[in-house]
């Protein structure tokens, strides 16, 4: 079975709720004029925008789903500044990005926190977009495959097998995030095969594996056809309707041709 590809827009700390509403409406208009039936689409706005973005998605019946950029590993209680998975779920969030390299490097998200968050998200029935990826030093040393395997083994430690279908992986080499230096199709293809084998060993072959790192409308097609990416996690290019839709269109084209 070929899994439908997924494109996730990670808006990071961009767009206040008014800008977020505007962008969501623009996406809705484009999709109304031309549906992209071969691709699933998620947008992950800042927490404070989620309610309004969710309302527009629902009222205008926009065929995209709502994601969050992070969530607490705790269920509730004395955790000042945190947002729980159940609160997100109540707002219509369907998936949560976990272990993004910015959370790991700037906010001290350790492998243990990543693993606990993965479990909390899945226990609440939401999908997990689990990020992994090496820095440039690891890539230059040639240890990128083992490094990513280690990250994933630690992130999935103690994960309940019955929730495997809730996992999507996002391979995001840190040196490619926000730098304009996209990984080559060969580099992506190597990692995709490695991760498919890793998932196969765990009985998780029906898991989507995305690529993230300076994806745009020009490189997206090759990263799918030659790099064999199962979709993308997109930062910068998801902030404007034209650049986000160009990626979605490229992915949709690749998959509609392959049918
Ligand atoms: C990201 O932060 O997940 C990302 C892939 O960013 P960008 O597309 O801007 O490289």
Listed in sequence order, the residues at least 6 apart from 183 whose beta carbon sits closer than 8 Å to its beta carbon are 173, 176, 191, 211, 213, 227
Task: Name the catalytic one among 100, 102, 127, 134.
Answer: 100
pLDDT value for 2:
66
Residues with CB under 6 A from ligand 1: 10, 172, 177-178, 212-215, 233-237
Looking at the CA of residue 170, tell me the nearest atom of ligand 1. Answer: 3
Nearest to 186 by CA among 149, 146, 139, 236: 139
Nearest CA to ligand 1 atom 4: 235
Output the CA 78–ligand 1 centroid distance in Å. Answer: 32
Cα 168 → chain centroid: 8
Beta-strand runs (E) in the chain: 6-10, 40-44, 65-68, 95-98, 127-132, 167-171, 209-212, 231-234
C-beta atoms surrounding 136 within 10 Å: 14
Q: Is the dihedral of CA 14, 229, 120, 90 positive or negative?
A: positive
Q: Half-sphere exposure of residue 114, counting CA atoms within 13 Å on the CB side?
A: 26
Nearest CA to ligand 1 atom 2: 235
Looking at the CA of residue 234, tell me the nearest atom of ligand 1. Answer: 8
Output the CA 238–ligand 1 centroid distance in Å. Answer: 9
Statement: residue 257 has pLDDT above 80: no
pLDDT, mean over the chain: 96
Segment 11-42, tens digit of pLDDT: 999 999 999 999 999 999 999 998 888 999 99
What fold, for 6-70+83-256? TIM Barrel (3.20.20)
Domain ranges of the chain: 6-70+83-256
Segment 78-135, tens digit of pLDDT: 999 999 999 999 999 999 999 999 999 999 999 999 999 999 999 999 999 999 999 9
Segment 145-181, tens digit of pLDDT: 999 999 999 999 999 989 999 999 999 999 999 999 9
Nearest CA to ligand 1 atom 6: 235
Phi and psi at residue 170, to the nearest 5°:
-130, 110
Listed in sequence order, the residues at least 6 apart from 32 whose beta carbon sits closer than 8 Å to its beta carbon are none
Nearest CA to ligand 1 atom 8: 235
Output the CA 243–ligand 1 centroid distance in Å. Answer: 13
């Amino acid at each position: 079975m070929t899994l439908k590809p997924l494109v996730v827009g990670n808006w990071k700390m961009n767009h206040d709720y008014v800008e977020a509403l505007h962008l969501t409406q623009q996406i809705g208009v484009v999709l109304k004029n031309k549906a992209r039936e071969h691709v699933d689409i998620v947008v992950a706005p800042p927490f404070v925008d989620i309610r309004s973005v969710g309302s527009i998605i629902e009222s205008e019946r926009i065929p995209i789903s709502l994601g969050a950029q992070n969530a607490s590993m705790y269920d509730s209680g004395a955790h000042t500044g945190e947002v729980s998975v159940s609160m997100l779920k109540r707002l219509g969030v369907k998936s949560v990005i976990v272990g993004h390299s910015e959370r790991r490097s700037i906010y001290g998200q350790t492998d243990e926190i990543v693993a606990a968050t993965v479990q909390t998200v899945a226990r609440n029935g939401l999908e997990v977009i689990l990020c992994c990826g090496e820095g440039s030093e690891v890539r230059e040393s040639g240890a990128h495959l083992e490094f990513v395997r280690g990250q994933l083994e630690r992130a999935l430690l103690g994960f309940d097998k019955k929730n495997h279908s809730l996992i999507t992986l996002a391979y995001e080499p840190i040196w490619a995030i926000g730098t304009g230096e996209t990984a080559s199709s060969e580099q992506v293809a190597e990692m995709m095969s490695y991760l498919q084998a890793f998932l196969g060993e765990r009985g998780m072959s029906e898991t989507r594996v995305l690529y993230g790192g300076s994806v745009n409308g020009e490189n997206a097609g090759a990263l799918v056809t030659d790099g064999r990416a199962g979709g993308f996690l997109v930062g910068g290019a998801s902030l404007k309707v034209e650049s986000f839709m160009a990626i979605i269109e490229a992915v949709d084209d690749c998959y509609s041709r392959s049918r």
